[in-house]
Structure 1
Amino acid sequence: MSDTTYPIGTPNIPWNNSEKTQWLQLQHKKRDYSQLVVSRVNQPNEFLSVEQYGELNYPPLNFALYLFKSKNWQSDRPTVLITGGVHGYETSGVMGALAFAQTDAQEYINDFNFIIAPCISPWGFETINRWNPDAIDPNRSFYDNSPAQESAAIMKYMASLNTQLIAHIDLHETTDTDNSEFRPALAARDGKINTNWNIPDGFYLVADSEKPAPEFQKAILNSVEKVTHIAPSDENNQLIGVPQEQFGVINYSARELGLCMGFTDAPYVTTTEVYPDSPSASDEQCTQAQVAVITGALDYLKSV
């Protein structure tokens, strides 16, 4: 592990609004949400309709928020929520959700109702950021009266459906920039000392410690390992500083931490973590690993 300082702020003193503004001024658009995401959302789909569920307002910018929903919705079918791009910089989560909606979803469309929100954080997607423009992490903001527009929008939509979920699959990545940028920035923002973690080389899952569902997680890993390798633990039998619950799986207290996977009452939840910076994994493998997560999870749910 290594310590890394950050160029904004004073060590051990949390940022004020001036420093958050300084941080925001350094952020720039690096890719286009409309071109890379919205254009694919709007492609014809025989089985899924598209709904706008909200809008992010960051003057002068506005981002329409879209999701897919099963056209032939049946109240007696189990419902599955799939989310991607909660952290906008985690590309394969967005691309994996889109790929599933456009391909494999049709294989399961008569077994489940689907809600697929492929890009929760469009501004983060465009600027390749973990935070939103207010220097807030959406994936720590899934709670009532959320300060993050991104989190509040999808929670409001899901509450409006008044639908019981069987599963929620949240698609993420762990990248080298966690250590080079995002963890140092987090420590600086909060006035804490940063200690970087060892980034696992490979895929792993984060389960909810309140409902870990180990057989569900194992079924997902079995599906993913056909596409890419599962991350080995470190010398302490840990991943990112957390003890493994089983090979390739760690547990977090999802609701307590305000994680996306914790905001519903679904009994089966998981957060994926692929490693796109691995020399043994391509971008396409990472996207297909996310698809394999979803299909592995659905195959398991069909069997229970």
Structure 2
Amino acid sequence: MSSFEDQRSLLTGVAYRILGSVADAEDVVQEAWLRWSGVDEATVDDPKAYLIRVTSRLAIDRLRWAKSRREAYVGPWLPEPISLAPDVAEHAELADSVELALLVVLETLSPLERAVFVLREAFDLPFSEIAQVIGRGEAATRQLAKRAREHVQDKRARFEVDLGQRRQITERFMTAASDGDLDGLMELLSSEVTLVSDGGGKARSPLRTLTGAINVTRFLASITTPDGIAKFMASISVTDFADMSYGMATVNDAPAIVMSVAGRVVSVMALDIKDGAIDTIYLLANPDKLTHLTPTFPER
């Protein structure tokens, strides 16, 4: 099984990018391992290519099932975050340019478009190999890749911001929020800012996307007061939050604000910047999506 273990991190990276879910990605990789265990390795010319094909096909099938499940999800659905914490080092390959905002855009692609985009743009696989994965001709595969790339570029190109600027704005945002500085928050937000919050019906969280600086600031003010924090903690069955802490972290290869209580991550907030102002806020609070994270993240 050495060939499989050598490729496990790569395969997890493929599955995560296609699925946007750590749990689903790990399930897919485990199923790929089960299939590999029944194969005579000596009959496989290129184990890496073979395992990528198997994992990608399993991920596509699972994504089709997951999309129907997400339609019944309570409130907005956001991808599960990943970090570069030491004890989740197996996810290190995942974090390279897999930002939450990009994964959100990938959610709008069809399963085949998403798989083609991931395999081509993230892993630089030849179109001939991708065509084998999805069971289409090479010309059709190239067309899928072109359509997916144009869609992603249309949604994401205008949001490219220097990482240093993103970190600076995130730090200013965190300071203003913790100090209850509403004027400071308003200065950082674009007039048409949106806040997308994923509580999954298991955490106190808006069930609809909030739009506009006033609405977003009003919500942020409500959750940063002692009463707001207490209500949020109660919604996730935390009664004693004396050990609550928060700080900057690297999540999905970008700056984010992470809150933890007694060694448990309870929320992750990531910001998308446009023209020097915060354009989108992603707030992840569904506890099921945070269990694999550790409360201490290394800075990069």
Same fold (TM over 0.5): no
- Identify the structure with the greater strand proportion: 1
- Identify the structure with the greater helix proportion: 2
Highest RCO, 1 vs 2 (Cα 8 Å, sep ≥ 6): 1
TM-score of the two chains, using structure 2 as the length reference: 0.26
Larger radius of gyration: 2
